[in-house]
Amino acid sequence: MPTPFDPHCRRCPRLAAFLSEVHIEKPEYFCAPVPPFGDTEAQILVVGLAPGKHGANRTGRPFTGDYAGILLYETLYKHGLASSATSVSVEDGLVLRGVRITNAVKCLPPNNKPLPLEVQTCNVYLRTELAARPIARVILALGGVAHSAVLRAYHLSLSRHRFAHAAEHPLGDGQVLLDSYHCSRYNTQTRRLSVAMFDAVVGRAAELAGLNV
């Protein structure tokens, strides 16, 4: 049975080679598969796309050190789901409450775009993590790739569960897949996603999970 995370995974040759290249360029960076982070008894599992080059790939913690993380952790803190509104390093003492964060792809992809086969290959880890978190009532997918990866992990039809911001998809056993546009700088700068929109979807996740404060 696979573990939810393998720190030495090299299953994707392109990603493994790219990590090696970045490590030569930035030897101080983490440059390895980035492990999940947060409450091991989480009621909300946040699923992102992949580590950012100068964010999680640098710090070794999901959404830590880049713009997407700024918005994510500020919003989690506002809803009482994080001990701090900022996340800057793995040593900053940040604690998540009822929330765990992972990615559909654990390694940094070139241009922030994993190939479909890489998403599929990494899905075994997401599937195992979801199975290990049966009390997670809400799976919050940030973006279409994360949405599809969650459905694949549950062996559910992508055509019957279309991605849309704030859409809710029953997964069975009381679990719900909740969609959001990714909290990336691009999405907020183009106004595809506003701070208010993201706040509302995180608030809905907390409501569905029974974590309202």
Q: Where are the domains of the chain?
A: 30-209
The predicted-structure confidence for 136-180, as pLDDT tens digits, reads as follows 999 999 999 999 999 999 999 999 999 999 999 999 889 999 999
What residues of the chain score a pLDDT lower than 70?
A: 1-2, 213
Distances in Å between the Cα of 107 and the Cα atoms of 68, 93, 190, 203 are 17, 24, 26, 29
Gap between the Cα atoms of 174 and 117, Å rounded: 30
Q: How many helices (H) and strands (E) does the chain have?
A: 7, 6
The pLDDT of residue 134: 85
CATH 2.40.110.20 is held by the domain 30-209:
no
